[in-house]
Amino acid sequence: MLAPALVVIGVLFAGGLALAGAQSLGYFAPTGENALTLRHYVSLGDDPEVYASLWLTLKLATASTVISAAAGLALALGLRGVARRSRAISLLLQLPLSLPHLAMAGALITVIAPSGLLARVAYALGFIQQPADFPALINDRFGAGIVLSYVLKEAPFVALMTLALLARLGDEYEQAARTLGASAWQRFRHVTLPLLAPAVVSSSLMVFAFIFGAFETPFILGRPFPAMLSVMAQQRYLDVNLAARPGAIALMVVSALLTAALAWAYLRLTSRLIGLERPFIL
Amino acid sequence: MKKPTTTKVAEALAVIAVVGLAAIPLALLASRSLAQSWYWPRLAPPSWSLRAWRYVFSPTAEVLPSLAASLSVALAVTLSAVIVALPASRALAWQEFRGKRAVIFALLAPVLTPPLAATMGVHSLFLRYGLTDTWVGVALSHLISTVPYATLMLTGSFSRLDPDYEAQARTLGAKAIDVWRNVTFPAIAPGLAVAASFAFLISWSQYLTTLLVGGGRVRTLPLTLVAFQRGGDEAIAAALSLVFLAPAAAVAFSVARFLKENQ
């Protein structure tokens, strides 16, 4: 029963990962490399561009995840009453979810680019004289466009996951707390938030892991240097010089291991905060 | 119970946010695709034109072949992912066996780690077997991220269904196919719809995997879209974004409607 799924995961994912590992460790046939070596990893460690990219990736993935989780939770709490009465709301929430990242990035460019709608409004109001005066929001140092694009896509995802849990829980616990005299803040802090934590934790973990390894949005809205990890790995992988390829693969192996370690740490931390015996997911 | 004003305000804000999130990107893309000579610093385009749309559907743009490539890959991937995921999720939900946690971990790993590392390995594997630059290779590579999602989602559906229902139907003399058609399938249909739509959406929006494994020869819609986004014609890129969005939104909407009807 499990065989077909395990074959797919075993050959394509585990096999792919193992081959990637082998190629990054000195077994890269196209350039005749055929001996175990750590030199591709060592040269990553000597490369300032790698540290810049790693730092940028961590920063942007964390910022996007935290803002998406907070916005998604707020959205779900604001919508819980409406969602019970009307089906249209959850249908509407599906739309940003199904909007491909490339399309969202394209839509954002029309608004936040130096000659985009926001800049034109700023010009009409007399704040700026030319597009160059408008603060850079795409291909910028801070990755503002990248974070904005992710929040617009992922906050609805967190909201949908949280609304699904809210629908299952009902509001009896909060009513009980109210009857016992808990204030609105106390009800939120000690009843609603702990009840919703599983949905927020698992959805934000998926969001973080996705953004950490994602490519399209930083490819369209980010700078070529320093670029997020996947963009940098893609640049090096597709370099005309094949000798750069094992280094690109090593970079993605590091990224995969790092994501796994961060995901594990996040689950450990959150399950302790919520007071669970075992980390949970989904 | 009377609702306090703050709740009403919060509700109104949330509804406005949701409507904005859904409508604004669409309105932007639509107006950008129809605008003509919308140069700085005009707030509104001086005139409208169907130029971008005519171009998108003209043979020179080669959008229709990429639409066909995207649809065929996504449908094949969805079908295969669901077929592979069904028996696995049934076993995971209903059976206890040694190594179950390891299997769950193996399914979570592709969900929680960047797919690019495995894709690069798969690329070299496929090079060896002549699967690079082919439709089959691209579809196979999309299974890496779709099968785990589909399996995890279906496991949830099966674990909410009591395995005894199947046993009872069998005791009453139902054939395996009838048990599936009349008992199991109706019970897991909502989960199946969600899993299939997820698989479709994941495959539909793959860019980098398709680029690496397909070598640019298997031109799905995202590849064509990026070519236009980089090419700098914003109107055409906007029109193409809408063409790219439409099937994804249609799938998400019909699944959401199906779920409501099944509640």
What tokens appear for B121 in the block? Answer: 């390995």
Domain boundaries, chain B: 1-49, 51-261
Find, in chain A, the residue whose alpha carbon is nearest to that of B156: A282
Residue numbers of chain A with a pLDDT score lower than 70: 274-282
Find, in chain B, the residue whose alpha carbon is nearest to that of A28: B124
Residue B2 carries which DSSP code?
P
Preceding peptide of B41 cis, ω within 30°: yes
User: Nearest CA of chain B to the CA of A183: how many Å?
Assistant: 13
User: Nearest CA of chain A to the CA of B157: how many Å?
Assistant: 12
Residue A59, pLDDT score: 96
Residue B132, pLDDT score: 95
Contact B88 A6 (CB under 8 A): yes
B215 SS3 class: coil
Report how far Cα B148 is from the mean position of its chain's Cα atoms: 13
Residue A276, pLDDT score: 56
User: Which of B28, B110, B152 is closest, CB to CB, to A110?
Assistant: B28
B251 SS3 class: helix
Report H helices in chain B.
5-34, 51-56, 63-94, 100-112, 115-128, 135-159, 164-171, 176-179, 185-205, 208-214, 221-231, 234-261
Best CA proximity match to A246, nearest among A2, A32, A9: A32
Residue A270, pLDDT score: 79
CB A130 within 8 A of CB B55: no
CB B133 within 8 A of CB B215: yes
Alpha carbons A191 and A267: distance in angstroms, whole number: 21
Alpha carbons A171 and B10: distance in angstroms, whole number: 17
Best CA proximity match to A98, nearest among B249, B77, B83: B249
- Report how many Cβ contacts below 8 Å link chain A to chain B: 265
Residues of A in contact with B88 (CB under 8 A): 1-2, 4-6
Best CA proximity match to B183, nearest among B151, B150, B158: B158
Q: Please provide the CATH number assigned to the domain covering B51-261.
A: 1.10.3720.10
For A61, A204, A281, B14, the CA distances from A74, given in Å and listed in that order, are 20, 14, 21, 8
Q: Which helix (H) or strand (E) holds B45?
A: none
Residues of A in contact with B257 (CB under 8 A): 91
This prediction has a pTM of 0.92
Concatenating the DSSP letter of every residue in A260-273 gives HHHHHHHHHHHHHH
User: Which of B7, B42, B207 is closest, CB to CB, to A215?
Assistant: B207
Tell me the percentage of chain A whose pLDDT exceeds 70.
97
Looking at the DSSP bridge assignments, the partners of residue B47 are: B36
Q: What is the pLDDT along chain B (263 residues), one digit of tens a residue?
A: 456 788 888 889 999 999 999 999 999 999 999 998 888 889 999 999 999 999 999 998 889 999 999 999 999 999 999 999 999 999 999 998 888 888 888 888 898 888 899 999 999 999 999 999 999 999 999 999 999 999 988 998 898 888 888 889 989 988 889 999 998 999 999 899 999 999 999 999 999 999 999 999 999 999 999 999 988 788 999 999 999 999 999 998 898 888 877 76
ipTM of the complex, rounded to two decimals? 0.89
User: Nearest CA of chain A to the CA of B172: how many Å?
Assistant: 24
Concatenating the DSSP letter of every residue in A137-205 gives -SS-SS-HHHHHHHHHHHHHHHHHHHHHHHHHH-SHHHHHHHHTT--HHHHIIIIIHHHHHHHHHHHHH
User: Which of A82, A107, A152 is closest, CB to CB, to B15?
Assistant: A82
Preceding peptide of A226 cis, ω within 30°: yes
User: Nearest CA of chain B to the CA of A39: how many Å?
Assistant: 18
User: Which of B143, B201, B245 is closest, CB to CB, to A12?
Assistant: B143
Give the alpha-carbon dihedral of A164, B104, A201, A222, to 10 degrees.
Answer: -100
Alpha carbons B70 and B64: distance in angstroms, whole number: 10
User: Which of B40, B141, B204 is closest, CB to CB, to A115?
Assistant: B40
Report how far Cα B153 is from the mean position of its chain's Cα atoms: 14
Concatenating the DSSP letter of every residue in A82-144 gives HHHH-SHHHHHHHHHHHS-HHHHHHHHHHHHSTTSHHHHHHHHTTS-SSGGGSPP-SS-SS-H
